[in-house]
Structure 1
Amino acid sequence: MSTPTSNTVHRAEIAEERHAQTPGGPVPQPRGRSSWWDGRSGLVVPAVLAAFSTYLLIGCLTMEIPEGTDFPGPTFYPLILAVAGYVLTALLTVHYLRSPEHPEETSQRTWRTHSDWSAVAWAAGGFLAFALTIEVLGWILAAALLFWAVARGFGSRRPLFDITLALLVSSAIYLAFTVGLGLNLPSGILGGGL
Protein backbone atom coordinates (compact mmCIF):
# COMPACT_ATOMS: atom_id res chain seq x y z
CA MET A 1 0.00 0.00 0.00
CA SER A 2 1.40 3.37 -0.98
CA THR A 3 1.37 6.39 1.22
CA PRO A 4 0.21 9.79 -0.06
CA THR A 5 3.81 11.06 0.01
CA SER A 6 5.20 8.23 -2.14
CA ASN A 7 2.26 8.60 -4.56
CA THR A 8 3.07 12.31 -5.02
CA VAL A 9 6.74 11.50 -5.61
CA HIS A 10 5.77 8.85 -8.19
CA ARG A 11 3.56 11.35 -10.09
CA ALA A 12 6.39 13.91 -10.11
CA GLU A 13 8.76 11.29 -11.59
CA ILE A 14 6.25 10.45 -14.34
CA ALA A 15 5.84 14.16 -15.14
CA GLU A 16 9.64 14.57 -15.36
CA GLU A 17 9.87 11.57 -17.72
CA ARG A 18 7.18 13.02 -19.98
CA HIS A 19 8.93 16.39 -19.93
CA ALA A 20 12.24 14.74 -20.91
CA GLN A 21 10.57 12.72 -23.69
CA THR A 22 8.91 15.75 -25.26
CA PRO A 23 11.25 17.06 -27.95
CA GLY A 24 12.11 20.69 -27.42
CA GLY A 25 10.88 20.88 -23.84
CA PRO A 26 7.43 21.43 -22.49
CA VAL A 27 4.44 21.65 -24.77
CA PRO A 28 3.23 25.25 -24.87
CA GLN A 29 -0.14 25.80 -23.32
CA PRO A 30 -2.83 27.22 -25.59
CA ARG A 31 -3.07 30.97 -25.32
CA GLY A 32 -6.21 32.91 -24.69
CA ARG A 33 -8.39 34.29 -27.42
CA SER A 34 -6.36 35.12 -30.50
CA SER A 35 -7.02 37.33 -33.47
CA TRP A 36 -7.13 36.25 -37.11
CA TRP A 37 -3.71 37.87 -37.70
CA ASP A 38 -1.90 35.62 -35.17
CA GLY A 39 0.59 33.46 -37.06
CA ARG A 40 0.04 35.31 -40.32
CA SER A 41 2.75 37.95 -40.05
CA GLY A 42 4.43 36.17 -42.95
CA LEU A 43 1.89 37.89 -45.22
CA VAL A 44 4.28 40.85 -45.20
CA VAL A 45 6.61 38.98 -47.58
CA PRO A 46 4.02 38.42 -50.34
CA ALA A 47 2.87 42.04 -49.88
CA VAL A 48 6.40 43.32 -50.54
CA LEU A 49 6.78 40.90 -53.46
CA ALA A 50 3.46 42.08 -54.95
CA ALA A 51 4.56 45.72 -54.61
CA PHE A 52 7.86 45.00 -56.36
CA SER A 53 6.08 43.05 -59.12
CA THR A 54 3.63 45.92 -59.59
CA TYR A 55 6.56 48.36 -59.83
CA LEU A 56 8.11 46.20 -62.56
CA LEU A 57 4.81 45.92 -64.41
CA ILE A 58 4.21 49.68 -64.34
CA GLY A 59 7.77 50.24 -65.56
CA CYS A 60 7.24 47.82 -68.44
CA LEU A 61 3.91 49.35 -69.45
CA THR A 62 5.21 52.92 -69.39
CA MET A 63 8.54 52.19 -71.09
CA GLU A 64 9.07 53.94 -74.39
CA ILE A 65 10.10 51.29 -76.92
CA PRO A 66 11.55 52.43 -80.25
CA GLU A 67 9.68 51.29 -83.32
CA GLY A 68 11.15 48.32 -85.11
CA THR A 69 12.51 46.73 -81.93
CA ASP A 70 12.99 43.01 -82.47
CA PHE A 71 11.58 40.34 -80.18
CA PRO A 72 12.09 39.86 -77.23
CA GLY A 73 12.71 43.54 -76.63
CA PRO A 74 13.57 45.43 -73.45
CA THR A 75 10.34 44.57 -71.60
CA PHE A 76 10.50 40.80 -72.05
CA TYR A 77 12.62 39.83 -69.04
CA PRO A 78 11.08 42.36 -66.63
CA LEU A 79 7.63 41.03 -67.57
CA ILE A 80 8.79 37.47 -66.86
CA LEU A 81 10.01 38.62 -63.44
CA ALA A 82 6.74 40.46 -62.75
CA VAL A 83 4.64 37.40 -63.65
CA ALA A 84 6.88 35.13 -61.56
CA GLY A 85 6.56 37.60 -58.68
CA TYR A 86 2.77 37.55 -58.89
CA VAL A 87 2.73 33.73 -58.99
CA LEU A 88 4.98 33.54 -55.92
CA THR A 89 2.83 36.17 -54.20
CA ALA A 90 -0.29 34.07 -54.75
CA LEU A 91 1.38 30.86 -53.58
CA LEU A 92 2.80 32.46 -50.42
CA THR A 93 -0.50 34.15 -49.62
CA VAL A 94 -2.41 30.86 -49.91
CA HIS A 95 0.21 29.15 -47.73
CA TYR A 96 0.00 31.70 -44.91
CA LEU A 97 -3.78 31.85 -45.04
CA ARG A 98 -4.20 28.07 -44.93
CA SER A 99 -1.55 27.28 -42.33
CA PRO A 100 -0.58 30.17 -40.06
CA GLU A 101 2.76 29.77 -38.31
CA HIS A 102 2.39 30.42 -34.59
CA PRO A 103 5.63 31.22 -32.81
CA GLU A 104 6.53 28.81 -30.08
CA GLU A 105 6.59 29.96 -26.52
CA THR A 106 10.19 30.90 -25.82
CA SER A 107 9.89 32.13 -22.26
CA GLN A 108 11.34 28.91 -20.84
CA ARG A 109 14.00 28.37 -23.49
CA THR A 110 17.12 30.16 -24.53
CA TRP A 111 18.51 30.09 -28.06
CA ARG A 112 22.17 30.36 -28.88
CA THR A 113 23.01 32.18 -32.04
CA HIS A 114 26.32 32.48 -33.81
CA SER A 115 27.75 33.88 -37.01
CA ASP A 116 29.10 31.47 -39.59
CA TRP A 117 32.21 33.40 -40.56
CA SER A 118 33.37 30.61 -42.84
CA ALA A 119 30.25 31.01 -45.00
CA VAL A 120 30.69 34.79 -45.02
CA ALA A 121 34.33 34.40 -46.09
CA TRP A 122 33.46 32.01 -48.94
CA ALA A 123 30.67 34.27 -50.24
CA ALA A 124 32.69 37.51 -49.90
CA GLY A 125 35.74 35.85 -51.43
CA GLY A 126 33.63 34.61 -54.32
CA PHE A 127 32.29 38.11 -55.00
CA LEU A 128 35.80 39.57 -54.79
CA ALA A 129 37.20 36.94 -57.16
CA PHE A 130 34.29 37.55 -59.55
CA ALA A 131 34.90 41.31 -59.57
CA LEU A 132 38.65 40.94 -60.08
CA THR A 133 38.58 38.23 -62.76
CA ILE A 134 35.52 38.97 -64.88
CA GLU A 135 37.52 40.84 -67.56
CA VAL A 136 40.17 38.12 -67.83
CA LEU A 137 38.09 34.97 -67.34
CA GLY A 138 34.90 36.32 -68.89
CA TRP A 139 31.35 36.11 -67.62
CA ILE A 140 30.91 32.36 -67.94
CA LEU A 141 33.98 31.31 -65.93
CA ALA A 142 33.90 34.17 -63.40
CA ALA A 143 30.17 33.69 -62.67
CA ALA A 144 30.71 29.93 -62.35
CA LEU A 145 33.50 30.58 -59.84
CA LEU A 146 31.19 32.90 -57.88
CA PHE A 147 28.38 30.31 -57.88
CA TRP A 148 30.76 27.58 -56.71
CA ALA A 149 32.19 29.74 -53.89
CA VAL A 150 28.73 30.70 -52.61
CA ALA A 151 27.53 27.08 -52.77
CA ARG A 152 30.62 26.00 -50.85
CA GLY A 153 29.99 28.72 -48.27
CA PHE A 154 26.42 27.49 -47.76
CA GLY A 155 27.69 24.01 -47.01
CA SER A 156 27.66 22.11 -50.28
CA ARG A 157 30.30 19.41 -50.42
CA ARG A 158 29.75 18.28 -54.03
CA PRO A 159 32.29 20.35 -55.98
CA LEU A 160 31.90 18.52 -59.30
CA PHE A 161 28.11 18.91 -59.28
CA ASP A 162 28.37 22.54 -58.16
CA ILE A 163 30.85 23.56 -60.85
CA THR A 164 28.86 21.72 -63.54
CA LEU A 165 25.64 23.45 -62.51
CA ALA A 166 27.48 26.77 -62.20
CA LEU A 167 28.85 26.50 -65.74
CA LEU A 168 25.41 25.57 -67.07
CA VAL A 169 23.65 28.49 -65.35
CA SER A 170 26.32 31.07 -66.20
CA SER A 171 26.32 29.92 -69.85
CA ALA A 172 22.52 30.22 -70.00
CA ILE A 173 22.66 33.73 -68.54
CA TYR A 174 25.44 34.67 -70.99
CA LEU A 175 23.34 33.47 -73.93
CA ALA A 176 20.20 35.17 -72.65
CA PHE A 177 21.95 38.52 -72.36
CA THR A 178 24.11 38.41 -75.48
CA VAL A 179 21.74 36.67 -77.90
CA GLY A 180 18.37 37.53 -76.34
CA LEU A 181 18.98 41.14 -75.34
CA GLY A 182 21.94 42.03 -77.51
CA LEU A 183 24.04 43.11 -74.52
CA ASN A 184 27.73 42.37 -74.43
CA LEU A 185 28.99 40.51 -71.39
CA PRO A 186 32.76 40.00 -71.16
CA SER A 187 33.80 36.82 -72.97
CA GLY A 188 37.36 36.74 -71.57
CA ILE A 189 39.65 33.87 -72.45
CA LEU A 190 36.80 31.79 -73.90
CA GLY A 191 36.20 34.51 -76.51
CA GLY A 192 39.90 34.73 -77.36
CA GLY A 193 40.46 38.04 -75.63
CA LEU A 194 42.72 38.90 -72.73
Structure 2
Amino acid sequence: MTVLEKTGKKSWWRGRSELGVSALLLVVGLLVVIDTLAESNTGGGDSDPIGPRTVALVLGAALLLLSVLLTIDILRGGHGEAEGGEDVDLGTPMDLRTVGMLAGVLVATAALIPLVGWPIAGTVLFAGATYALGSRSFPRDLAIAAGVSLVTWFLFDGLLGVDLPGGPLMGVFG
Protein backbone atom coordinates (compact mmCIF):
# COMPACT_ATOMS: atom_id res chain seq x y z
CA MET A 1 0.00 0.00 0.00
CA THR A 2 1.44 3.37 -0.98
CA VAL A 3 1.53 6.52 1.11
CA LEU A 4 -1.19 7.98 -1.09
CA GLU A 5 -3.45 4.98 -0.45
CA LYS A 6 -2.78 5.03 3.32
CA THR A 7 -3.16 8.73 4.02
CA GLY A 8 -4.92 10.08 0.99
CA LYS A 9 -2.04 12.58 0.61
CA LYS A 10 0.65 12.69 -2.00
CA SER A 11 4.17 12.07 -0.64
CA TRP A 12 6.50 15.09 -0.66
CA TRP A 13 9.17 12.96 -2.35
CA ARG A 14 6.86 12.04 -5.24
CA GLY A 15 7.96 14.16 -8.17
CA ARG A 16 11.21 15.10 -6.44
CA SER A 17 13.09 11.85 -6.94
CA GLU A 18 15.67 13.77 -8.97
CA LEU A 19 17.01 15.02 -5.65
CA GLY A 20 18.83 11.68 -5.58
CA VAL A 21 20.89 12.79 -8.58
CA SER A 22 21.58 16.06 -6.82
CA ALA A 23 22.72 14.17 -3.71
CA LEU A 24 24.98 11.99 -5.84
CA LEU A 25 26.56 15.07 -7.45
CA LEU A 26 27.08 16.54 -3.99
CA VAL A 27 28.76 13.41 -2.64
CA VAL A 28 31.03 12.99 -5.67
CA GLY A 29 31.93 16.70 -5.62
CA LEU A 30 32.80 16.53 -1.93
CA LEU A 31 34.89 13.40 -2.46
CA VAL A 32 36.82 15.02 -5.30
CA VAL A 33 37.50 18.20 -3.32
CA ILE A 34 38.42 16.40 -0.08
CA ASP A 35 40.65 13.88 -1.86
CA THR A 36 42.36 16.61 -3.84
CA LEU A 37 43.02 18.73 -0.75
CA ALA A 38 44.40 15.67 1.04
CA GLU A 39 47.07 15.17 -1.65
CA SER A 40 50.54 16.36 -0.69
CA ASN A 41 51.51 17.58 -4.18
CA THR A 42 50.71 21.29 -4.22
CA GLY A 43 51.07 22.19 -7.87
CA GLY A 44 52.62 21.62 -11.21
CA GLY A 45 56.24 21.79 -12.16
CA ASP A 46 57.98 24.28 -14.38
CA SER A 47 56.30 22.89 -17.49
CA ASP A 48 52.84 22.81 -15.88
CA PRO A 49 52.36 25.81 -13.56
CA ILE A 50 48.69 25.09 -12.90
CA GLY A 51 49.06 21.42 -11.98
CA PRO A 52 46.60 18.56 -11.73
CA ARG A 53 45.24 19.73 -8.36
CA THR A 54 43.74 22.83 -9.91
CA VAL A 55 41.83 20.84 -12.51
CA ALA A 56 40.52 18.45 -9.85
CA LEU A 57 39.46 21.33 -7.59
CA VAL A 58 37.67 23.08 -10.46
CA LEU A 59 35.90 19.82 -11.34
CA GLY A 60 34.90 19.24 -7.70
CA ALA A 61 33.64 22.80 -7.35
CA ALA A 62 31.66 22.45 -10.59
CA LEU A 63 30.03 19.27 -9.29
CA LEU A 64 29.10 21.02 -6.04
CA LEU A 65 27.69 24.00 -7.93
CA LEU A 66 25.66 21.73 -10.22
CA SER A 67 24.30 19.92 -7.19
CA VAL A 68 23.13 23.18 -5.61
CA LEU A 69 21.61 24.50 -8.86
CA LEU A 70 19.82 21.21 -9.56
CA THR A 71 18.43 21.12 -6.01
CA ILE A 72 17.10 24.67 -6.34
CA ASP A 73 15.52 23.86 -9.71
CA ILE A 74 13.84 20.72 -8.37
CA LEU A 75 12.52 22.46 -5.26
CA ARG A 76 11.05 25.21 -7.48
CA GLY A 77 9.12 22.55 -9.42
CA GLY A 78 11.47 21.84 -12.31
CA HIS A 79 11.98 18.29 -13.53
CA GLY A 80 13.51 16.40 -16.40
CA GLU A 81 11.31 15.52 -19.33
CA ALA A 82 11.20 12.04 -20.81
CA GLU A 83 12.41 11.76 -24.37
CA GLY A 84 9.67 11.85 -26.96
CA GLY A 85 10.62 8.49 -28.46
CA GLU A 86 11.25 6.77 -25.15
CA ASP A 87 9.47 3.44 -25.00
CA VAL A 88 10.28 2.55 -21.39
CA ASP A 89 7.34 2.08 -19.06
CA LEU A 90 8.47 3.91 -15.93
CA GLY A 91 5.69 2.26 -13.94
CA THR A 92 7.27 -1.17 -14.36
CA PRO A 93 9.52 -2.19 -11.48
CA MET A 94 13.16 -2.90 -12.26
CA ASP A 95 14.35 -6.46 -12.70
CA LEU A 96 16.39 -6.93 -9.53
CA ARG A 97 17.67 -10.33 -10.67
CA THR A 98 19.29 -8.84 -13.78
CA VAL A 99 20.66 -5.85 -11.88
CA GLY A 100 22.07 -8.19 -9.20
CA MET A 101 23.70 -10.45 -11.78
CA LEU A 102 25.28 -7.47 -13.56
CA ALA A 103 26.55 -6.08 -10.24
CA GLY A 104 27.98 -9.51 -9.40
CA VAL A 105 29.75 -9.70 -12.75
CA LEU A 106 31.28 -6.24 -12.20
CA VAL A 107 32.49 -7.13 -8.70
CA ALA A 108 33.89 -10.46 -9.94
CA THR A 109 35.72 -8.68 -12.76
CA ALA A 110 37.26 -6.16 -10.36
CA ALA A 111 38.42 -9.01 -8.12
CA LEU A 112 39.76 -11.09 -11.03
CA ILE A 113 41.81 -8.43 -12.84
CA PRO A 114 44.77 -8.51 -10.41
CA LEU A 115 44.64 -12.31 -10.17
CA VAL A 116 44.23 -13.46 -13.78
CA GLY A 117 44.75 -10.28 -15.81
CA TRP A 118 42.47 -8.30 -18.08
CA PRO A 119 42.05 -10.77 -20.97
CA ILE A 120 40.49 -13.45 -18.75
CA ALA A 121 38.68 -11.04 -16.40
CA GLY A 122 37.34 -9.11 -19.41
CA THR A 123 36.05 -12.34 -20.90
CA VAL A 124 34.19 -13.01 -17.64
CA LEU A 125 32.82 -9.45 -17.73
CA PHE A 126 31.55 -9.54 -21.30
CA ALA A 127 30.26 -13.13 -21.26
CA GLY A 128 28.65 -12.62 -17.84
CA ALA A 129 26.93 -9.43 -18.99
CA THR A 130 25.49 -11.16 -22.06
CA TYR A 131 24.18 -13.98 -19.86
CA ALA A 132 22.68 -11.53 -17.35
CA LEU A 133 20.96 -9.66 -20.17
CA GLY A 134 19.37 -12.82 -21.53
CA SER A 135 21.63 -14.38 -24.15
CA ARG A 136 21.91 -18.17 -23.89
CA SER A 137 24.33 -18.88 -26.75
CA PHE A 138 27.29 -19.80 -24.53
CA PRO A 139 29.92 -20.83 -27.12
CA ARG A 140 29.27 -17.79 -29.32
CA ASP A 141 29.11 -15.37 -26.36
CA LEU A 142 32.30 -16.77 -24.86
CA ALA A 143 34.16 -16.53 -28.18
CA ILE A 144 33.02 -12.96 -28.79
CA ALA A 145 33.79 -11.98 -25.18
CA ALA A 146 37.30 -13.45 -25.43
CA GLY A 147 37.88 -11.68 -28.75
CA VAL A 148 36.69 -8.29 -27.46
CA SER A 149 38.73 -8.71 -24.30
CA LEU A 150 41.91 -9.58 -26.19
CA VAL A 151 41.44 -6.76 -28.70
CA THR A 152 40.91 -4.19 -25.94
CA TRP A 153 43.96 -5.53 -24.09
CA PHE A 154 46.14 -5.28 -27.22
CA LEU A 155 44.84 -1.77 -28.00
CA PHE A 156 45.25 -0.35 -24.51
CA ASP A 157 48.39 -2.18 -23.41
CA GLY A 158 50.22 -2.41 -26.72
CA LEU A 159 49.21 0.63 -28.72
CA LEU A 160 48.10 3.21 -26.15
CA GLY A 161 50.62 2.30 -23.46
CA VAL A 162 47.96 1.88 -20.74
CA ASP A 163 49.28 -0.90 -18.53
CA LEU A 164 46.59 -3.57 -18.24
CA PRO A 165 47.70 -6.75 -16.46
CA GLY A 166 48.01 -9.66 -18.85
CA GLY A 167 47.97 -12.41 -16.26
CA PRO A 168 48.98 -15.83 -17.56
CA LEU A 169 48.73 -14.58 -21.15
CA MET A 170 51.59 -12.14 -20.53
CA GLY A 171 54.11 -14.91 -21.22
CA VAL A 172 52.32 -15.93 -24.43
CA PHE A 173 51.62 -12.53 -25.98
CA GLY A 174 53.74 -10.11 -23.92
Q: Same fold (TM over 0.5)?
A: no
Based on CA coordinates, which of the two structures has the bigger radius of gyration?
1
TM-score normalised to structure 2 length: 0.45
TM-score normalised to structure 1 length: 0.42
